[in-house]
Each structure stands twice: as structure tokens, then as C-alpha cells.
Structure 1
Amino acid sequence: MSAAHGSPSRGVAPGARSKDFGGSFRRLIGELRMDLPRILLALLATAVAVVLSVAAPKLLGNGTNLIFEGVIGRMIAQAPSKEAAVAALEQQGNGKLATMLASMDVTPGQGIDFSALGRVLIEVGAIYIAAAVLQFIAGLLLRHVIQATGWRMRDRIQRKIEDLPLSYLDQNSRGDLMSRVSNDVDNVTQVMNQTLNQFFQSVLTLVGILVMMLTLSWQLTLLAMVVIPLGAWAAIVLMRRAQPQFREQWHATGEVSGLVEEAMTGHEVVALYGLEERFTDAFNQSNTALYTSSFKAQTLSNMTQPVMSFISNLSYVIVAVGGGLKVVSGQMTLGDVQAFIQYSRNFTQPLGQLASMANSLQSGVASAERIFEFLDAPEMEPDRGASSFTEAWRNAHPGADFDGQAEAGRIVFDHVRFGYVPGTPVIKDLSLNVEPGQMVAIIGPTGAGKTTLVNLLMRFYELDSGSISIDGVDIRDLQKDALRRHMGMVLQDTWLFEGTIGDNIAFGRESATEEDVIRAATETGAHRLIRQLPEGYRTQVSDDGETVSAGERQLLTIARAFIAQPDLLILDEATSSVDTRTEVLVQRAMDQLRQGRTAFVIAHRLSTIRDADLILVMEDGDVVEKGRHDDLLASGGAYARLYRAQFAGPAVEDPPDGASGD
């Protein structure tokens, strides 16, 4: 873009707080709505798996009771009955042991019931296997949901890019935008994959374990819960400290991506001017910021698990002491205490997982917020115009007959005013009439508004005021796609996608045949160069590859425009990268192509526009001169000065007013 209109931005400011964490989180969850049936099925499978897993410790406790009671039965084998053994213990002054024995289901002389114990072990094994299968099914369903959500987010981002105005892409770092498309989406899907299924399982496990603990002993449950507020407080503190570090981590990731992208695309310029050290310093600064923020974020996040482990051990000590006292007092069996201890240990585990997930969620939501910020960026004004030129013409000329001649290509700029930045106009007050079939050349110094003029004609930007019409139809009354179908544009900066040369040329017209491709290449002078390549039209090329030279890439983009057979042709320094001989071939092809078509040519090489029907000389957003080559030279104005400066050299003085020269 020739005009300066704002410096690139690299995303949100470092350390900026989340604008709406809760809103971004709810919006992220809302992205899962399309897969609600699968989510509900996964939730059901998780719930059944949790119920089975929670029931297992109680069954194992029954197995422990069978073993313990069998051992005690052997120990009191001499007693005629359990009651007699209890009475004997009381007479001996062992009241606590007597109370514990009375609460047990013991038969003197009867050992361990291995048959019953085997059934318990089989039941527990079956329960754990069933729970594992259900958890696998739930995880598989949720992975499908999460990957589908990531696919939809990438699809929406791609569609968003197509709807964004050029001003947004110009004012934001492309490396940062690429980071949002790739790194941030990957991070969101990774975090959801790690937390979504685990969240369901952890919450349901907490509820199930709490119910079982209350069933076994509400007193021990209260003791176990004493340390929970301490863990919750620690998790909240760590989460709050980690949140800004995760935001800074992903901002720094965008910074690094932007610098790498700039260094890669501008490698030759960097090497030419010896800027490697400057880029290295900038990269090291951003890389250090990424290292620091990532280290702090991960350190704070990883502290959650040791803290919760400490709390789990503290709870274990409290429950073990309290449970032992209850067994001795006969209020609980040994198997129930064992089950309760297992429950208490398992209770802190999902708490720690939830706390760890909360920290991971900070990273995921920070990335999601950057994605949503991109998706919410202002789009181009919606197309409310006609879907075809015929329809637009009839709307503009009600009652008139459209005989097809209206598409001859008469273009009128009527008091056009435009600026990239409000209050700083680039095009100030441009009025211009272009007749059908004319070749219009636009020249002027850098920043004069040459490229801006054709960008406005293509509706890459919208006017601040005034109008542009084609055959009496305001281009704003025509949908952008319908307008651009009649136009072909070749930019100074070439672009080739990864594919064959033939595919790149055929890209200009969907229905193009191989013969059409060869004809377009022949007309532009590219056929001779293509034939010299080992694989000809099947040669693989890409935008950053070295298979073809810069001039050859330019020829391919011109051939791509030619094959589209546009009604209006726009060439923005299209011959700047070709040699003199190739330039002659391109000029001949352009002469053939523009027969019966209106053409705009932005050029610095004035030799390429000598035969133009109309030459516009622009300075500071205004047309200061217009006319044919000979007439403008004769007038001795701005065009004559540019022409002599280019061909005669700076040492030649300007002729007196009114003099002409060649």
C-alpha cells in the first residue's frame, strides 16, 4: 500500500487484564452447543463410571471386614459364642475390646470366608473395568466434540479474514494474527481436551464421595472437611497470580511469531542492510519475555498439586486418628474406616484436579479472548446492493431499456474524498471522467494516492464522501463480488500459491482449460519461459520459493489476470519486475487485452504509458494534470518535470515555460 495509514500493532498491551473473563468463558462454553447430544451422552457415561468407582471402596471395605472378622473368629475359637467372648472381655476389664467385638459379625471358630471374599474381589474388578470402559467412551466422545469445535473456530477465523477490511490487516501484525489462528486455537482445544472430561468426572466424583463419606460417618466427614477451605484459598490465590502471566505468555507468543515472520519474509533485506543484530536483539527481548511469563505461569500452575497433596496428607492424618478411635469404640468397622480413608484420599484428588484445571483454564480463556477479539473485529460494510450489474443498472435507471451497451465501462469519480485515518485525507477532492475503452495511466510521487484510487474503485476501502460510478451505477449499489467479477488486477507484489504453474494461471478463471492457460501464457510472453522449465506447466511453485524469478512470477500473475478476461483492467506497477525485452512482450499483450476495455495503469516507468489515452498526474491526493503524453510534455508542467527527470537526468535544467521536449 503506497500510502501510510497507521503502524502495525502486535496485539493487546502487555499485562492487560481480561476485559470480561466470565463472559469469555461463557462464550467459549457456548461454542460447544452444536455438539450438545454428544456432550450429554458423555456426561451420562461419566456419571455411571463415577457411581461405579465410588461404590468400589465400600465393597473393598466389606472384603476387609471378611478378613478381619475371620481372623478374630479364629482368635476366639474356644468361646462357645460371640456373646460369651464379649462377656469374658468385660470381666477381664477390656471394655473397649468387648465393645468393638460386639459390633462385629463374628462366629467363634469360623475363619475367613474365602468364597465370599472371592465374590467381593470379582465384583470390585468388574466395577473398575466397567468404569474404565465408560470413561474411555466419554473421553472419546468429548475429543470428537473438542476437535469439531476447533475445526469450526478455524473455519470461522478463515471466513472472518475474508470479511475483514484491508485496514484491519494493515494495522495489525500478521505474525500476531497467525498466532491467533494457529497457536491460540491449538491452546484452546488442548485446554478443553485436558479439562472438559476431567471437570465432569471431578465434580461428580466429589459429590459421590461426599455422599458416601456422610453415609459412613458424618463426624469423620466434618473432620476431613476442616482443611478444605485452606486448599480452596490456596488454589484461588495461585489462580489469580497465574492469570496475568498466562495472558502475557500468549501475547509474547504473538510477538515472537510476528518477529519470526518478519525475519523470514524480509531475510534478504535484513542481510543486505546488516540488520541481523537488530532483529536478534528484538527477538531475544520478546523471547525472554515469553520465557519469563511462561516460567511464572507454569510455576504458579504447578504449585497447585503440591499444595493439594499436602492438604490431602493432612486430611489423611486427621481421618486415620479419628477412624481408629471409632473402631476401638465400636462405632465403625475396620472395613468402613478403610473405605472412609480411601474416600478422603480420593476427595482431595478431584479438588486438586479442579484447582489445576482452573489454572489451565486461565490460559485457555486468555487464548479464547484473543480469538473472540479477532472474530469481533469490525467487518467490511455488508453488501446491500444488487447481485449483478444488470440488476444494479436497472435499479439506477428505472423504466429504461438495458440493451447490454451500458457495460461499456464509463467510470466517473465525483468529488471523492478518502483517508485511512480520520481527519487525514489521502484523496481530498477528486473528480474524474474515464471514457469506455480508455487506457488511463496514473503517475505521481510515492504517497500521492495512486494505489488508493484503484483500491477505492475495487471497494477494498469505502469512500468518506463523494461517489464512484460505472455506467451510471454507483459501485456501492453493487455487491463487491459482482463488482470485482468484472475486474482484473495485477499488483506490484506478486503472489503465487503452492501448486503448479498451470494451476496458478488457471486460478483467474474457474472454468479455464489447458488451452486457455497456454494461450494466456503466450499472450503475456510467459510461454517461452515456462517451456524452458524441466516440467513446463507442471512445475511446482510457491510464493516464497525460488523455482522462478521475481520477473517470471510477475508474468504468471499477469497471465492469471489475462485468463479472467476482465471488463476493467488494473495494473499496479505490473511491469516493475520484468526486464526490458519481457516488458515489450507484456506491453503488446496489454495492448491486445485492453481492446474494448477500460484500463488503469499505475506506473513509475513513464516509457510504458506513452500511448495511454489519458495520463493522470497526482500530487497530495489530487489530480494536478491530465491529458495525453505529447500534450502534457508541451505544457511543461508536473508531468514534463517527471519525464525529464527520469530520462534526461537531474543535471538537465527545466526548459522555459511553454517549451516542449521529448
Structure 2
Amino acid sequence: MSKEPKAAGGPMRGGPKGMGKPTNIGKTIKRIAHYMKEDKWILLVVFFTIITSAGANIIGISSLQIIIDNYLQPLIQNNDSELMGGFILVLGAVAIIYLVGVISTYTFNRLMVGVSTRTLYKIRVDLFTKMEALPIKYYDTNTHGNLMSLYTNDIDTLRQVLSNSVTGFMNSFIMVVGVFTMMVIYSWQLTIIVVIMLSLMLLSVRVIGGKSANFFMKQQQEIGRVNGFIEEMIEGQKVIKVFSRQKIVIDEFELLNEELRKNATTANIFANILMPIMINLSYVLYAITAMVGGLFAINGALSIGTVIAFLQFTRTLSQPINQVSQQMNAVLTSLAGAERVLDVIDEQPEFDQGHVTMVPVEVNENNELKEVAYRTGEFAWKQVKADGSPDYTPVKGNVVFNEVTFGYEKNKTVLKGISLYAKPGQKIAFVGSTGAGKTTITNLINRFYDVPSGNISIDGIEINKIRKPDLRRSLSMVLQDTHLFTGTVRDNIRYGRLDATDEEVIAAAKLANADTFINHLEHGYDTVLKSDASNLSQGQRQLLAIARAAIAETPILILDEATSSIDTRTEKLIQKGMDRLMEGRTSFIIAHRLSTVRSAKAIMVLEHGEIIERGDHNQLIEQKGRYYELSAGLFELT
């Protein structure tokens, strides 16, 4: 193994940010509203239809007073048939009003579904775009499972709120204002009774709902931890089974799952008792209002129709308050999740102040470089002078480290004053024990991390002056942990250079000695690979990664344990191909096998972040130092 320690802090099962109460509700709502600004006219229609829906309900309830006092009571008492025509007209008008309300309710719910899905589409795009721009260090300190929970759990809760709760809150607010106004108009005395009871209901919401919200936040946090743990365990199934650690893993999962169960149970207990309390209080309110209203009606202070309409308003007023209290936990949970998503979107992207670009060039008869718009196989570093004229430096792959000191954490130095150079076309090998700093050197060449002390240059240009995309187009890598994407074998090889022809894909596969096994696959180069090519052996996946690097035709090549998963027999078969791959390229090789490094022009022996020996194979053997000891161990193994 040649991997270096992960960056500061190591993996965090808590996710990008521990899930808790939203810290700035106003700011979060404003940010979400910004994503909805393109739908402002639709939202205006939504607002209008919500007002129409609420107004239809209020008018429908108010009509009870007219129907009872002006029609039903006279019809019952006097049997006045002349009123029947007016009564039928009023009923028809009320039916039309409620129909308008139903249509309005359907309209704003349907429109909000479209607004919410478009809003979440934009948020997902911004989230994924930002994740592609984040530095490697960010992924070193956040587990994949927690990052995935942003897309699944957090955004899904936000979807539910945008689709239902937003319109529900608006409708409830308008209903409360409208109903309360009508109640004051009908009877301010009964309204005082309602206000007292509503105060008790709101106090219940605040106390019980607050406790429920707190545990719902904890539930979301535990869901993130459980997701991260499950993702990690699924990836490590082979290791778990090899070491028979199933019982330990299950015990750890049960601990996490138990925490989730406790918080979910407590949250739902408070949430579930809140609604019965609110409903019973609303029944008490209804009963008290009915008794007092009845007394007013007996004494002639209020008409029967007014009392019945008021009672219906009382019931209607309780409903939006119950709905708001029921949805409050979901809203707070979704806002906390939205904060997590927005925090990632606000993360600082990979720092890049480079201005030097890599461009394709042609060499004319005067041996001058001319920039062209098509691929020629020749490239140059393009810098713009003070006068605006371009200056071209041929891309050769001359790499120089000058007193480079680096650490993943401030107080832990991994590399200590490393100085080395690699001339164009040279093979430089790094050997040493695990954690010596070998992979860190290659991580600095491609600027996965920036150098705080010292500098690294390519062709005389400091790499921090080169734009990162152009710098990385000048090198290709074959890593110890091979990753292949869902797609055909052909597509995975072409990933190294998207404009490569089918003939070039096949040539790269032959160079890596992958052509033979590819042709034995069911569909050859058109065989679809899924789940990181689980249907291929580790060695075959490594060969495809080598072919992917070969097709890129870059001047710099990094091989980090590139043949670690290939058996000795296969290694001998592809050694010539590897030599052809490295021919004419500046190659940095990290390997434990002697056969891989002995042909290198220079071999660097690292220990504790320092180069303790350097030279070619024969020179280092003669020194009988650390390399000699490593070589002796390799000889014994072979």
C-alpha cells in the first residue's frame, strides 16, 4: 500500500454539517426563494388562487347566516313558499362559490408541484456542480454516504415542504386572518373566548412542538450517520467477510440504529400527542362557544344563523392552526436540511489563480510554434506578455521540485524539503515504506493539494501559475484504486481522450495488453460495465486503466502501484507495453516490485517524508543502504 493519511480530521460520519435546528431561517428561506424567482409569475397566480380558495371558504361559511336567518327559519316558522325560489338561488350561488374554491385549490397545488420540482432541479444542479469544483480534501473529510444523503434525504424533505407546506402555510394564514375578521364582525364577545382558547392551543404547540422539532433534528442527524455507515460497510463487504467481522459490524450498526430509533420514537411521540391535544382543545372551544352563543341567541343578542356561522368559523379557525402545528416539524427539518445543502453550495471551490494555458501547436519551417485549433500531438504552454502578445513554451514534461514541504494537517509534516528533478522522457521511481510520502508527491504534481512551502515547476513554469484543467491535461494517472464508470469498455478507455477514434481506442488497449481479454468478453469493446466493472477481475480493471492513460498521450505519466493488482505472469506480458507507454514521457512510478522500478533513470528512497537515497538501481545496490534492504526483501519474496 502506498496511500497517505487522509486530510485533516479523517472521515466524519456526521456529514458536511451536523444536523440541528436551522441557524438562520430567514437567510435560508431567502436563498430558496432566489431559486424560485424565474417562476415569480406562476407564484403570483398561486397566491391569487390561494386567496380565491380561502375567500370561497369564508364566503361559503358566511352564507350560513343568510341561509338560516333569511330563508330556513322563515320557511320553518311561516311556511312561506315565496322564499323557496330565493332559497334555491342562494344554494346555487353557494355551490358555485365552493366549486370555484375547489378549482382554485387544485390549481395552486398543481402549479406548486411544477415550481417545487424546477426549484429542486436547480438546487441539485448547483450542488452537483459545486461538488465537482470542490478540492479533494473536502472528500477526504466527508463520507460518501453523508454526501449522498444531501441528494436523497435533505432535498426530498425540502420537496415535500415546497410542494405542500408553503401553500398550506399561505392558505392557513389567509384563512386565519379572514375568519378572525368575520368572527369579530359577528360577535366580539365570542371572539374573546376563542382568543383565550387559541392562546392555550398555541402554548401547547410551542411547548410540545418545540420538543418534537428538537428530536426530529436529531433524527435527521442520525439518518445521515446510518447512511454513511451503511455505505462504508457495503463498500467493505469483502474485508468484513475475510476477517469475519460481521458480528462487530452488526453490533456497531445496532448502536447507530438504536440512536436513530430513540430519537425517531421520541420525536413521533411528541408529534403524535400534539394533534390529539389540539383536537380536544378545539372540541372544548367549540362546546364553550356553542353554550355561550346559545345563551346569546336565547336572550336575543345574536340570531341563530349568526351563532351557527360563528361556530363553523370556530371549527374552521382551529383547522389551519392544527395544520400549521402538524407541519412545523417537517418545515424546520427541511430548512435544516436545506441549510446543509446550501452550506455545501457555499463551500470554497478549488483554489485556482493560474493563467497559463496549454494549447495545441504546429512547428513551422523556422522551428517556430504556431497555435492551432486542432489536435496535432504537439502542445505548448501559452502565456500572455504585458504587451498582450502570446509567448509559447513547448510542453516537454521537465518537472522540478524545489525544497517542497507539505502536510495534510498544519502540525503534521508529510514531506520535508523535497528537491528533485525529472528531465523530459525520464523515468523516476519512488520507493519506501507506507506513509513515507510517495503518493503525496504525485498528489502535489497534479495540484490535488497546493504547496505551502517551496515550489514545483513544469518546463520552467511554476504549476500554481498554470490553470488546473490545463495542468491536468498535461498528465495522466493510473492509480492503485482503479475506478471505471458505467458504460462500455470502449467508453471507459476513451475517457482518457474523448475525441479518440475507435482505432485509437483499440491501439491503446493493445498497448496495455488489454485487447486480448476484451475480445473474449461477450460484446467485446461494446460490453457494458456496471458497478465499477464488478464483472471484471481486478487485474483486468487495472489494464483498462492503463489503456485509458495510454490514449491520453500526455507528456507526463504517473503510475501509482499501477501493476499492484496484476499477477507476475501478466506483469511480464505487459512490461513491454508499459515501456512503450512510458517511452518519451516523463514518468513517475510508485511501486514495490523490483521489476517495475529497476529500469528507472533515478530511484528515490523516501522515509518519513525525506529522500534518504537516490540513484539508479545499480548505484543504490552498491550503497547497501535502505534500497538494498528493500531489494533483498523483494528478492526473497520472488
Structure 1 residues 184 and 305: CA distance shift in structure 2, 3 A: same
Whether 1:71 aligns to 2:76 is yes
Taking structure 1 as the reference length, the TM-score comes to 0.88
Structure 1 residues 510 and 186: CA distance shift in structure 2, 3 A: same
Query: Offset of 1:242 from its aligned partner?
Result: 1.8
2:189 and 2:390 map into 1 onto residues whose CA distance is 93
Q: Which residue of 2 aligns with 1:102?
A: none
1:118 and 1:496 map into 2 onto residues whose CA distance is 74
Whether 1:203 aligns to 2:192 is no
Q: Which residue of 2 aligns with 1:105?
A: none
Query: Offset of 1:402 from its aligned partner?
Result: 5.0
**Partner-residue secondary structure (3-state), 1:624:** strand
Query: Offset of 1:637 from its aligned partner?
Result: 1.8
Q: Which residue of 2 aligns with 1:476?
A: 464
Whether 1:576 aligns to 2:564 is yes
Pairing 1:82-481 to 2, within 5 Å after superposition: 110-111=80-81, 113-388=83-358, 394=383, 402=391, 406-481=394-469
1:188 and 1:36 map into 2 onto residues whose CA distance is 19
Alignment-mate amino acid for residue 497 of structure 2: R
Q: Residue 426 of structure 1 contacts residue 448 of structure 1 at CA under 8 Å; is this kept in 2? A: yes
2:440 and 2:601 map into 1 onto residues whose CA distance is 21
- Deviation string 1:252-287 (CA, Å, 9 cap, x unpaired) is 111111121121111011011010011100111111
Q: Which residue of 1 aligns with 2:366?
A: none
Q: Which residue of 2 aligns with 1:556?
A: 544
**Partner-residue secondary structure (3-state), 1:340:** helix
Query: Offset of 1:543 from its aligned partner?
Result: 3.8
Structure 1 residues 418 and 265: CA distance shift in structure 2, 3 A: same
Alignment-mate amino acid for residue 520 of structure 1: A
Which runs of 5 or more residues in structure 1 are unaligned?
75-109, 651-662
**Partner-residue secondary structure (3-state), 1:394:** strand
1:631 and 1:279 map into 2 onto residues whose CA distance is 49
Q: Which residue of 2 aligns with 1:40?
A: 44
Query: Offset of 1:215 from its aligned partner?
Result: 2.0
1:516 and 1:114 map into 2 onto residues whose CA distance is 90
Q: Residue 385 of structure 1 contacts residue 392 of structure 1 at CA under 8 Å; is this kept in 2? A: no
**Partner-residue secondary structure (3-state), 2:428:** strand
Query: Offset of 1:632 from its aligned partner?
Result: 1.5
1:26 and 1:144 map into 2 onto residues whose CA distance is 19
Query: Offset of 1:424 from its aligned partner?
Result: 0.9
Q: Residue 505 of structure 1 contacts residue 556 of structure 1 at CA under 8 Å; is this kept in 2? A: yes
Alignment-mate amino acid for residue 5 of structure 2: A
Q: Residue 14 of structure 1 contacts residue 248 of structure 1 at CA under 8 Å; is this kept in 2? A: no
Q: Residue 356 of structure 2 contacts residue 383 of structure 2 at CA under 8 Å; is this kept in 1? A: no
Alignment-mate amino acid for residue 513 of structure 2: G
Alignment-mate amino acid for residue 513 of structure 1: T
Alignment-mate amino acid for residue 9 of structure 1: M
Pairing 1:489-568 to 2, within 5 Å after superposition: 489-568=477-556
RMSD across aligned C-alpha pairs, in angstroms? 2.3
1:480 and 1:289 map into 2 onto residues whose CA distance is 43
1:397 and 1:353 map into 2 onto residues whose CA distance is 66
**Partner-residue secondary structure (3-state), 2:456:** strand
2:576 maps to which of 588, 595, 619: 588
1:61 maps to which of 61, 65, 85: 65
Q: Which residue of 2 aligns with 1:654?
A: none
1:399 and 1:126 map into 2 onto residues whose CA distance is 73
Structure 1 residues 212 and 384: CA distance shift in structure 2, 3 A: farther
Which runs of 5 or more residues in structure 2 are unaligned?
360-378
**Partner-residue secondary structure (3-state), 1:509:** coil
1:392 and 1:229 map into 2 onto residues whose CA distance is 73
- Deviation string 1:126-184 (CA, Å, 9 cap, x unpaired) is 11111111111111221122122222222222122112221221122221222123211
Of the structure 1 ranges 19-28 and 197-206, higher mean CA displacement relative to structure 2 is found in 19-28
1:9 maps to which of 9, 12, 16: 12
2:55 and 2:490 map into 1 onto residues whose CA distance is 62
2:275 and 2:591 map into 1 onto residues whose CA distance is 66
Q: Residue 396 of structure 1 contacts residue 472 of structure 1 at CA under 8 Å; is this kept in 2? A: no
Q: Residue 245 of structure 1 contacts residue 294 of structure 1 at CA under 8 Å; is this kept in 2? A: yes
Of the structure 1 ranges 279-288 and 157-166, higher mean CA displacement relative to structure 2 is found in 157-166
Q: Residue 15 of structure 1 contacts residue 245 of structure 1 at CA under 8 Å; is this kept in 2? A: no
Query: Offset of 1:590 from its aligned partner?
Result: 2.2
1:454 and 1:339 map into 2 onto residues whose CA distance is 79
Q: Percent identity, aligned pairs only?
A: 35
Q: Residue 430 of structure 2 contacts residue 588 of structure 2 at CA under 8 Å; is this kept in 1? A: yes
- Deviation string 1:479-530 (CA, Å, 9 cap, x unpaired) is 1101101111111001111111111111111112222211111111111001
1:247 and 1:635 map into 2 onto residues whose CA distance is 63
Alignment-mate amino acid for residue 3 of structure 1: E
Alignment-mate amino acid for residue 191 of structure 1: V
Structure 1 residues 242 and 34: CA distance shift in structure 2, 3 A: farther
**Partner-residue secondary structure (3-state), 1:611:** coil
Structure 1 residues 403 and 327: CA distance shift in structure 2, 3 A: closer
Structure 1 residues 606 and 595: CA distance shift in structure 2, 3 A: same
Q: Which residue of 1 aligns with 2:55?
A: 51
Query: Offset of 1:580 from its aligned partner?
Result: 2.4
Q: Which residue of 2 aligns with 1:77?
A: none
- Deviation string 1:85-109 (CA, Å, 9 cap, x unpaired) is xxxxxxxxxxxxxxxxxxxxxxxxx
Q: Residue 444 of structure 1 contacts residue 618 of structure 1 at CA under 8 Å; is this kept in 2? A: yes
1:326 and 1:267 map into 2 onto residues whose CA distance is 75
**Partner-residue secondary structure (3-state), 1:569:** strand
Q: Who wins on radius of gyration, i.e. which is larger?
A: 1
2:82 and 2:485 map into 1 onto residues whose CA distance is 77
Query: Offset of 1:197 from its aligned partner?
Result: 0.8
- Deviation string 1:367-419 (CA, Å, 9 cap, x unpaired) is 22322333333432133433436896535899999565x31111110111100
- Deviation string 1:34-65 (CA, Å, 9 cap, x unpaired) is 43332222111111111111100122332223
Q: Residue 352 of structure 2 contacts residue 468 of structure 2 at CA under 8 Å; is this kept in 1? A: no
2:563 and 2:319 map into 1 onto residues whose CA distance is 69
**Size of the alignment, in residue pairs?**
614
Structure 1 residues 142 and 345: CA distance shift in structure 2, 3 A: same
Alignment-mate amino acid for residue 132 of structure 2: E
Query: Offset of 1:465 from its aligned partner?
Result: 0.8
1:620 and 1:549 map into 2 onto residues whose CA distance is 34
Q: Which residue of 2 aligns with 1:82?
A: none
Query: Offset of 1:202 from its aligned partner?
Result: 0.4
**Partner-residue secondary structure (3-state), 2:476:** strand
Q: Residue 150 of structure 1 contacts residue 185 of structure 1 at CA under 8 Å; is this kept in 2? A: yes
2:637 and 2:329 map into 1 onto residues whose CA distance is 67
Alignment-mate amino acid for residue 284 of structure 2: L
Structure 1 residues 153 and 481: CA distance shift in structure 2, 3 A: same
Query: Offset of 1:31 from its aligned partner?
Result: 4.1
Of the structure 1 ranges 465-474 and 382-391, higher mean CA displacement relative to structure 2 is found in 382-391
Alignment-mate amino acid for residue 124 of structure 1: V
Alignment-mate amino acid for residue 32 of structure 1: M
Q: Residue 430 of structure 2 contacts residue 589 of structure 2 at CA under 8 Å; is this kept in 1? A: yes
Q: Residue 301 of structure 1 contacts residue 360 of structure 1 at CA under 8 Å; is this kept in 2? A: no
Query: Offset of 1:311 from its aligned partner?
Result: 2.1
Q: Residue 448 of structure 1 contacts residue 619 of structure 1 at CA under 8 Å; is this kept in 2? A: yes
Pairing 1:617-656 to 2, within 5 Å after superposition: 617-648=605-636
